Amino acid sequence: MADTYDAVLIGAGHNALAAALHLAAKGWKVALFEGAASPGGAVKTGEYTLPGFRHDWAAMNLSLFAGSPFFKAYGAELGTLGLEFAPVADCFASAFADGSWLGVSTDLATTTARIAALSPADAATWQRLVQAFPGEAAHIFALLGSPMNLRAFASFGWKLWRAKGARGSLDLARFLAQSPRAWLEETFESPQVRALLGAWGMHLDFAPDVAGGALFPYLEGMANQSFGMVLGKGGADTVIRALVAAVQARGGVVECNAPVARIIHHGAHATGVELRDGRRITATRAVIAGVAPQALRRLAGATPDAAFDARMAGFAHAPGTMMIHLATSALPHWPDTALQRFAYVHLAPSLDQMARTYQQAKAGLLPDEPVIVVGQPTAIDPGRAPDGQHVLWLQVRMAPGTILGDAAGQISARDWPTAAQPFANRALDILERYAPGTRASILGQRIVTPAELEAENPNLVGGDQVCGSHHLHQHFLYRPARGHADGSTPITNLHLTGAAVWPGAGTGAGSGYLLAQKLAGR
């Protein structure tokens, strides 16, 4: 009986861990088997450059986790097990080629004054949006936190109609369908304000002209203004270490270096997994696969539903990301040192540049001017580096998983091992252009290509850090497929979780928690 559990989970990312914790709290015997050397998936922290410099491997922002229903239920317990946040007051900014910048801080008067210097009309609009946000957030977060099935969707629609009436409900529906550019251009007149917010769409595969993307720049702007941001104290892995401890405290098993070779099922009923080392693990109530949809066929074979199988095989992924981890002797030499206080600085000067970058990456080209996200965690949490020194977390967006060419015509390499350094140099040249002298402060560097991201975590297909495009055809009721946004599959007792399942990417643990509630109750 030692290898028999109520639930067996494939992978130990934060969604799987959240699911396991809730199931264990409801009395289930659980075990998680992770192929990598450590748990966490994309939420990991390590000394990737030099000793004493702690870098977040991929995810850095833990605001979604801190504000999640899961954290509301289990946050106190996780706090006793070491989970600690580092709050951020100066949340995000965009720097521009002329040396100017614009940023969002939690002090409303400060943010409004920055916007007013560019456009008094936009400053008034910002204040109006912030004042209206609590009322709008109630509906939006109700949607994002709801099980995505027809009954729940209809219930949400009815409650929305009663609260906002026909006109208000239709206005919200229109907003949810808008592209970032459409919403930003009808809402703000300043190109800098539009760029400041539009950059957030690039984090989630929503280039400026992609329908359905307006929600994310809006939410990031309003949530950061209203609540601030949180990072993990000492690194994002504070969440993972606490989750693992909580699962183990309830008798759960978390085993790493234990890749699953296949899912065992008989008569369309899942009964367990077989590990690559030959061990068979029995699951009496559920097998939960925290994998990208395309991996399900490899692990489980064909299901009784050919249409479902085709949808999993055709699941669309976003362009990739290159990570550059830097150990430095100083923060970037921005023209205004006030930028050194911000958790994120985007080097994404216009909506047109973002759109061009996205199209180039989608076409398989190394972008001539990729979007650079400069994370400055030691500005908020100095303990991540030796005294007086810093870590920089650079996301280079977008990057093709498979290289077909170079938009600038300068890099001849068509494989990532060869293209990594010259493409990283392009990104660092951009950073140097915005913050002259920064390169001289670099003490250590680690480049992580899209290919390496996928090799380390197969869910990040082609370096796609959000495990699948969130475009409308693959979101809401359709994530990952119509009828299966609750993580169900055509095989009884086999479920999917992770960023590929509604509500999608981010650190909010939504798909894991919703699935566990469905299986074991609230």
Angle at 182 between CA 177 and CA 183, to 5 degrees: 75
The enclosing domain of 472 has a CATH number of 3.50.50.60
Average pLDDT (220-236) is 97
Give the DSSP letter string of 37-104: SSSBTT--EE-SSSTT--EESS--B-HHHHTSHHHHHHHHHHHHTT--EEEESEEEEEE-TTS-EEEE
**pLDDT tens readout for residues 294-343:** 999 999 999 999 999 999 999 999 999 999 999 999 999 999 999 999 99
Residue 258 forms part of a structural domain: yes
Residue 120 forms part of a structural domain: no
Residue 454 forms part of a structural domain: no
Distance from C-alpha of 521 to C-alpha of 518, rounded to nearest angstrom: 6
Amino acid symbol at 129: L
Residue 504 forms part of a structural domain: yes
* β 45-46/55-56 pair status: antiparallel
CA dihedral 522, 78, 281, 283 (to 10 degrees): 0
**pLDDT tens readout for residues 406-421:** 999 999 999 999 999 9
**pLDDT tens readout for residues 449-474:** 999 999 999 999 999 999 999 999 99
Token pair, residue 501, equals 């399942």
Q: Are 373 and 395 in contact, with CB atoms under 8 Å apart?
A: yes
Q: Is the pLDDT of residue 36 over 50?
A: yes
Domain span at residue 69 reads: 4-43+63-83+235-315+467-520
Give the DSSP letter string of 402-454: S--EETTS-----SHHHHHHHHHHHHHHHHHHHSTTGGGGEEEEEEE-HHHHH
**pLDDT tens readout for residues 126-136:** 999 999 999 88
171 three-class SS: helix
- Least confidently predicted of 170-174, 181-185, 238-242, 395-399: 170-174
Q: What is the pTM of this model?
A: 0.95
Residue 471 forms part of a structural domain: yes
Tally of domains in the chain: 1
Q: State the alpha helices, DSSP H only, in 202-236.
A: 215-227
Residue 259 forms part of a structural domain: yes
- Among 246, 427, 399, CA closest to 332: 427
Residue 182 forms part of a structural domain: no
